[in-house]
Amino acid sequence: MMKASEIKELTDKEIQERIQLEKETLARLNMNHAVSPLDNPMKIKEARKNIARLQTIKRQRELNQNQN
């Protein structure tokens, strides 16, 4: 699980890449879970939360740039 403090250290480009990577991971987990139950279904929830954290930090940066 990524912490917000870890995400804030990333550049905008790295955040965008991580969002794409997490979305791909989430899609793969959902597909695997549909075929046969995962050992740890909480990984799906964790992936969704990571995406949300990344998008939140990205949006905060966009708003800060617009204010300046």
CATH number where 60 lies: 1.10.287
Owner of token pair 């998008």:
55
Domain that holds residue 58: 4-67
pLDDT on residue 7? 87
Q: Tell me: the pLDDT tens digits for 12-26?
A: 999 999 999 999 999
CA atoms lying within 13 Å on the CB side of residue 40: 5
Q: What is the pTM of this model?
A: 0.88
Question: Own/partner pairs for 3-10, CB < 8 Å, 24+ apart?
Answer: 4/53, 4/56, 4/57, 7/53, 7/54, 7/57, 8/57
Residue ranges with strand state E in the chain: none
State the Cα–Cα distance between residues 61 and 5, nearest whole angstrom: 14
Please tell me the total count of domains within the chain.
Answer: 1
Looking at every residue in the chain, the average pLDDT score rounds to 93
